[in-house]
């Protein structure tokens, strides 16, 4: 119904009022970065206006407050993804904040796991499994580590339905497999991978699993305890928070297998010359240097915002919009939509119009005030499998409504019309 497809939360996002070429902005690029609500912007403003100070070092009041506020966000993020339950089960006294490390985003979190965890738990000749569906952020750090340590990268290919199937995983795992790195939701296809069963298979063979949640956390409730993943990573800017901040969740039993990666201030217990420095405990030993304090506070405000709406409500809104979007796209002549038809799709859809380069489609839509993403989407291997060098990607957020979808479909039909007449 019309009321369901109008977003009651749209008004919370000031950038959505922006005019582009005298047209109202139709923002369909939330998977690249989601718009920020006023509550998040205000929280960061508040910090810079009234609370600004560094953390962890000062005895003075502002510093103590900033530290307390930052650490409070840590527990909020841990609760948001169900980490607290995992830690409670591990030991009643242990707190999930130990295993919740702030990073600058998904990319840094994956690099951290490569260098802090995997590098210390492998020998030359050991194997890492990555999938053909990964974002470059979940490919390149493993390749760099493999190059350095003589590890072998094995690729879990998609089947003919463009899905990852369990049998292929079973066949790839050997005695030497040490890690599976897999995306929860594809940033190109929107496919929601059935990662819980993949994790079970990996664990049966004693393989640790890193889940890239960059495209998952804003669309559905994540429970790392239930998933039983070893590492879960995501970025704040895709869940309506600021850029430059993200999180890494580490399962309790993996923490003791990790060594600090970056060295510097805030991560030490004591420093001696010329050697003999000792590190502090998790999570701080993985957070060298002054953190992005305002960003972390904004991250917390984004989680408060999402929690106040409720992820179930968001999922309901987005899934009805997605149905409408897919139906609209399927009705366009000469469109090719990529991805699985049997697995659920969340937030994202990619396509090409017959005979038109994705870049041209994107450039025309831009002139109509419609923002989409085009190109290889940081997933060159997946695009190669799709037989494409570039695609158009449309992605939804909680503020997207039927009007946005209608404008897109109308725009695409206009582009088809323009080029159709010339043929």
What are the catalytic residues? 378
Tokens standing for 360?
Answer: 């041209």
Q: Does 191 bind ligand PMP (CB under 6 A)?
A: no
Per-residue interface string for the shown chain with ligand PMP, residues 87-116, x marking contact by CB under 6 A: ------------------xxx---------
Draw the binding track, 45-64, toward ligand PMP (x: CB under 6 A; -: no contact).
--------------------
326-385 residues near ligand PMP, rule: CB under 6 A: 378
Nearer to ligand PMP, 139 or 173 (CB): 139
Q: Which is nearer to ligand PMP, 106 or 177 (CB)?
A: 106
Of 68-76, 211-219, 258-266, 405-413, which segment contacts ligand PMP by CB under 6 A? Answer: 211-219
Q: Contact with ligand PMP (CB under 6 A): which of 7, 35, 116, 183?
A: 183
Give me the least distance between CB of 131 and ligand PMP, in Å please.
Answer: 11
Cβ proximity to ligand PMP: between 169 and 218 the closer is 218
> Is the link from the previous residue into 274 a cis peptide, with omega within 30 of 0?
yes
d(CA 127, CA 124): 9
- Residue 318 CB, shortest distance to ligand PMP, in Å, is 16
Contacting residue, 116, 187, 220, 416, with ligand PMP by CB under 6 A: 187
Q: Which is nearer to ligand PMP, 391 or 415 (CB)?
A: 391
Pick 346 or 378: Cβ nearer ligand PMP: 378
Site string for ligand PMP, 113-152 (x = CB under 6 A): ----------------------x-xx--------------
Interface residues with ligand PMP (CB under 6 A) are 105-107, 135, 137-138, 183, 187, 212, 214-215, 235, 378
């Amino acid at each position: 119904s019309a009321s369901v497809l109008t977003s009651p939360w749209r008004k919370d996002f000031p950038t959505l009022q922006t005019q582009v070429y005298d047209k109202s902005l139709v923002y369909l690029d939330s998977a690249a970065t989601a718009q920020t609500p006023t509550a998040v912007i205000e929280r960061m403003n508040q910090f810079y206006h009234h609370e600004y100070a560094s953390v962890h070092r000062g005895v003075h009041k502002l510093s103590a407050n900033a530290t307390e506020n930052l650490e409070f966000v840590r527990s909020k993020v841990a609760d948001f993804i169900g980490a607290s339950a995992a830690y409670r089960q591990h030991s009643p006294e242990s707190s999930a904040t130990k295993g919740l490390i702030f990073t600058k985003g998904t990319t840094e979190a994956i690099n951290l796991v490569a260098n802090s965890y995997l590098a210390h738990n492998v020998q030359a000749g050991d194997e890492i499994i990555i999938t053909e569906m990964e974002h470059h952020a979940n490919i390149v750090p493993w390749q760099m580590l493999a190059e350095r340590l003589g590890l072998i990268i094995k690729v879990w290919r998609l089947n003919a339905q463009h899905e990852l199937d369990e049998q292929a995983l079973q066949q790839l795992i050997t005695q030497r497999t040490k890690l599976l790195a897999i995306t929860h939701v594809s940033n190109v296809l929107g496919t929601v991978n059935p990662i819980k069963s993949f994790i079970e298979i990996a664990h049966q063979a004693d393989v640790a699993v890193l889940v890239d949640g960059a495209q998952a956390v804003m669309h559905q409730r994540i429970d790392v305890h239930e998933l039983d993943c070893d590492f879960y990573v995501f970025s704040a800017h895709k869940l309506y928070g600021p850029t430059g901040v993200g999180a890494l969740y580490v399962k309790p039993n993996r923490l003791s297998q990790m060594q600090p990666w970056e060295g510097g201030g805030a991560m030490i217990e004591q420093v001696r010359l010329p050697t003999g420095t000792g590190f502090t405990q998790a999570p701080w030993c993985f957070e060298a240097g002054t953190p992005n304090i305002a960003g972390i506070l904004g991250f917390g405000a984004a989680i408060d915002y999402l929690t106040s709406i409720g992820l179930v409500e968001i999922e309901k809104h987005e899934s009805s919009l997605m149905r409408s979007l897919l139906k609209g796209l399927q009705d366009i002549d000469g469109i090719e939509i990529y991805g699985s038809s049997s697995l659920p799709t969340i937030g994202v859809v990619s396509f090409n119009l017959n005979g038109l380069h994705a870049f041209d489609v994107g450039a025309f839509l831009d002139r109509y005030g419609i923002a989409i993403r085009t190109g290889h989407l940081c997933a060159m291997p997946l695009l190669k499998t799709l037989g494409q060098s570039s695609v158009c990607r449309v992605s939804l957020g909680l503020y997207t409504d039927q009007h946005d979808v209608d404008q897109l479909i109308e725009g695409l039909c206009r582009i088809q019309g323009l080029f159709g007449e010339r043929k």
